[in-house]
Chain A
Amino acid sequence: MTALRDMYNDGLVSVVQNVGYPNQDYSHFRSTDIWMSGADSDQYLETGWAGRYLQSQHPLYPDGYPNPDNPDPLAIQIGPVVSLALMGTTVPVGMGIADPTAFYQFVNDIPEPAPNTPYGQELEFIRLVTQQAQVYYDTVKNAAENGQNLGQYPAQNRLAEQLRIVAQLISGGLKTPIYIVELGGFDTHSEQVDGTFGNAEGAHAYLLKMVSDAIGAFQNDLKLLGVDDRVAGMTFSEFGRTIGSNASIGTDHGAAAPLFVFGKEVIPGIIGDNPVIPSTPLVSYDVDMQHDFRSIYASALKDWFGIANPESILGQTFPILPIFKAGQSGTQVIHKPDVMDVGNYPNPFHGATTFTFTSEGGYVVISLLDMGGRVLQTVAEGSYPSGTHRVTYNRSDLRPGNYFYQVKVNGSTVTKMLVVI
């Protein structure tokens, strides 16, 4: 991921560690829906988080759209279909564009009301898509014709081609605030790595390289086009992967993964802790979630889109993370994670050691794990007030070797290694 690394070194990338949601649902479909809609793990939402944001700004949409104040699509997904993320109250608040230069003249229908039946409702839907397609096609085609790309994009990169179209449309003057692009193939239950050439090669490495190269080319193009101060990007995936390799040199669905936010207006750096990975993890060993994905949505809504109360879109309050520069100048409180400053002393130890942690208060579980990630013992459990706490642990019967301990406060977990001598 050299392109993204270079961007990081240039101060254009914010990495948020261990992003997921509580009670991970390991189903692809459900987890995708959760990420797209911004729902809790056991909550079913029929609108998308971006769709709700756009609908809040355009309550009447699709009635009367496009109009002179809003001539452009409110959101564009590059490709023929529109995902749940853009779903508004009744229809998707956006359109799919596979080829912005394609054009078609639809026939005129006789305007008449459809019956109020399921048939009539589907009929109305198709008519509406057709009418809006006609009007928006003209706009998008104009933007594509007026727009251009100044940077080079890597060949044979499905994501780069989509981002190239986005840059072209932005440079062509389209004022669409949200674009969605997509790259599949990450469900690498098998052949995630190349067994011959080691773990830095194979399907997963190849996909990450595509992501990195595509984002690097896109950012460079935006800079050359002079629009890089108006564009920020965010990556997401429905879940991470487990850490240990299964028999198919692949991995299964995991609870958390890092997420990248990039652009000239992000605060560069890394938010959150490095996950601690056992040297010989079990197949099922999973990275713990530290940040709820909706914290990033909330941060984007507040500090990028300028929504004063992101909870009106997300339904709940989530901590705002220091991702966007715009957030720094305001009066907002930078969120403190639920647990921090985790440590133990002495380490290595024999007999007894003392764990320390600082939290904003909440239900705390401290556990001891073996190198495979199995919980061996619960060291302490209970409600702790805000502040720094110490828990002394006395186990002289532990066999010498490497262990992990986990400090879990509310939804956040920090895992660290300890050594018994």
Chain B
Amino acid sequence: MGDFKLSRRRFIKKMAKGASVKIEHLAPLPAEALAKAGALNSEALAKEGALPAEALANASALTTEFTLQGGLDPYQGPWTKAEAAHLLRRTTFGLKQAHLEQMLALGNAAAAVDAVLNVPATPPPPPVNNYDNPAAPYFDPNVPSGQTWVNAAYDVEAEGYRIESWRGWWLNRMIEGEANIQEKMTLFWHNHFATKTEAIFSGKTVYNHNKMLRAHALGNFKAFVKAVTLDPLMLYFLNGYLNNVASPDENYSRELQELFTVGKESANTYSEDDVVVAARILTGWTLNPQTLETIFVQQLHDVGIKVFSPFYNNTILQGSNNGEADLDALLNMIFQKDEVSLFICREIYRFFVYYKIDADVETNVIEPLAQVFRDNNYEIAPVMRALLLSEHFFDAVNKGCQIKTPLDLTVGVLRNYNLSLPSPTLYDQYFIRLSINFFCGGLQMLPGDPPNVAGWPAYRQSPNFYRVWISNDTIRNRNILTDVMAFQGVDVGTEKLIINHIAFAAQFSDPSDPNALIDDMLALLYPMPISVLKKTFLKSILLSGQFSDHYWTDAWNAYINNPGDPMAYQTVLFRLASLHKYVMNLAEYQLI
């Protein structure tokens, strides 16, 4: 393994160098652009005396206290933009106008939830060699450019590129995902069964692991746990491949119980001895050093009797020569515990609804949801359907209360504005995906590499939870990202990744009416309505400080009537860009 490691360090260093060049590229905006945008500030407006009295009154009306409604009963209320948008914000990586209209057209919550849970059965086409770089130069000797590498033999020089190719492939799946839960569900399980790419320096292994997560994402949880237990990446990451009868390694056994199934959230839980005993059952599964595929070596397997604690009803498992049967027996024992369903339902809740689980939520949502899980023999889809369709999920109190993860924000900007990543050449494609992934890493979320086996702290670290995403440092970088997307853009080879402000506005019902435009835009970009006061200010950006709507209407119509006129184009573009920058700089944009 020594060679792997050295080479990996070298690779990371190389990549870090490349990435830092690119991240500097995402530097703050030119000072003038910022100054211009910032000049439109609230004090200036307030001085003009433009704030109507009723707007101020409305602002304070926002302090109404909400009370929690409903449990798992299906939501029967009206099916409006607000509900459709909420469902998509929580199940995809950023709301698109087309998806919003699609959901709205389904007419009711049940149809929309079914649509969201209807994920394509066929796996997506695998990642390809897009890392051959004519300039570096690097060429994968075993995989032609544009062909998939996932079946290629292990190649220490290529694996680092393949891993980044895979990571970029996954990122792009999130960016291009349709209006269904597939990508978010995959990330949920990645966070739950957390692994790191650097554990095993093999692109094929991380790709296959991800494929396995996708295959089980809405399937049977017990079969899922078994697949994860025998997955090569997991076997490597938590040292299962070294766990043997002579020298048991308790690493996977502990996490199997603490993080993957029963949890450790209550005092009544497995014992330290259970960790040791379960580790013995898991012995014998190791990796073929050539293929890095999972194999069972009977001589390494502990066939002795295993006795568990009272938590597992003092279960005695007689070991055998059949490692798979022994594993099944262990999982059967673990899945006897209701703690499994409760623990997983809490995890799902924290990921898709909110991080606070008080006694009411535990009683009215978690417990019945866990019952659904058990009644359906640990099938995941019925649990997701029950939760997403519930009164509780659509309750006003649960809207807009998630802080966007770095992926929600980064991928979300692109999706909100209907952007795809340009790829004038395959290597450009590789590089822009890599740059965005590393930028996300700077915001503390690199897909494929959560900080440790517990996943990202935002889903477990009480009392802060989602708030760990937001520090003075990350909030600044979040702002820089959206500023760059609004104004400067990022060069991708011969093309540029930048918001198309005019196309974005043009997709709405009546972009010439500044009130309708702002309403439509905010329904997409903000999770909750904002005060009239704030809306008035946003409109003033479009009106450049004038007070009559027709200034914008005239400007928009001048452009529509003569799109080739650079002056008309610039007039509309700068106002929209300033508005979008401002909208994305406010705290509201950080919430879903």
Contact = CB atoms under 8 A, between A and B. Distances in A.
B158 to A, nearest CB: 23
Nearest to B473: A80
B247 A115 contact: no
Query: Secondary structure at chain A's binding surface: helix, strand, loop or mixed?
Result: loop
A186 B531 CA distance: 50
B397 A252 contact: no
A246 interface: yes
Contacts of B385: none
B80 interface: no
Interface string A218-245: 0000000000000000000000000000
Interface in B214-263: 239, 242-244, 246-251, 254, 258
Contact of B534 (A27, A29, A107, A110): A110
A116 interface: yes
B454 A96 contact: no
Given A123-B591, A130-B587, A190-B242, A110 B468 contact: no
Contact of B62 (A26, A102, A107, A113): A113
B363 interface: no
B537 interface: yes
A119 B586 contact: no
B376 interface: no
A130 B475 CA distance: 7
B525 to A, nearest CB: 14
B397 A97 contact: no
B381 interface: no
A317 to B, nearest CB: 25
Contacts of B66: 115-117
A261 B202 CA distance: 41
A247 B42 CA distance: 65
Given A28-B454, A116-B63, A133-B476, A87 B464 contact: yes
Nearest to A117: B66
A96 B444 CA distance: 13
Nearest to A124: B587
Contacts of B472: 95-97, 129-130, 132-133, 136-137
Interface string A84-112: 10010000100111110010111111111
A129 B42 CA distance: 19
Interface in B458-500: 460-464, 466-468, 470-476, 479-480
A107 to B, nearest CB: 4
Contacts of B403: 122, 126
B586 to A, nearest CB: 6
B471 A108 contact: no
B587 A27 contact: no
8 contacts: A29-B460, A46-B462, A96-B471, A97-B472, A112-B62, A125-B467, A130-B472, A246-B247
Interface of B: 1, 28, 34, 37-38, 41-43, 59-60, 62-66, 239, 242-244, 246-251, 254, 258, 264, 267, 272, 275-276, 354, 356, 396-403, 442-444, 452, 454, 460-464, 466-468, 470-476, 479-480, 527-528, 531, 533-534, 537, 581-582, 585-588, 590-591
The 5 closest A-B pairs by CB, nearest first: A133-B472, A118-B401, A247-B247, A126-B587, A119-B400
Interface of A: 26-30, 33, 42, 44, 46, 79-82, 84, 87, 92, 95-99, 102, 104-123, 125-127, 129-130, 132-133, 136-137, 187, 189-191, 246-248, 250, 252, 283-284
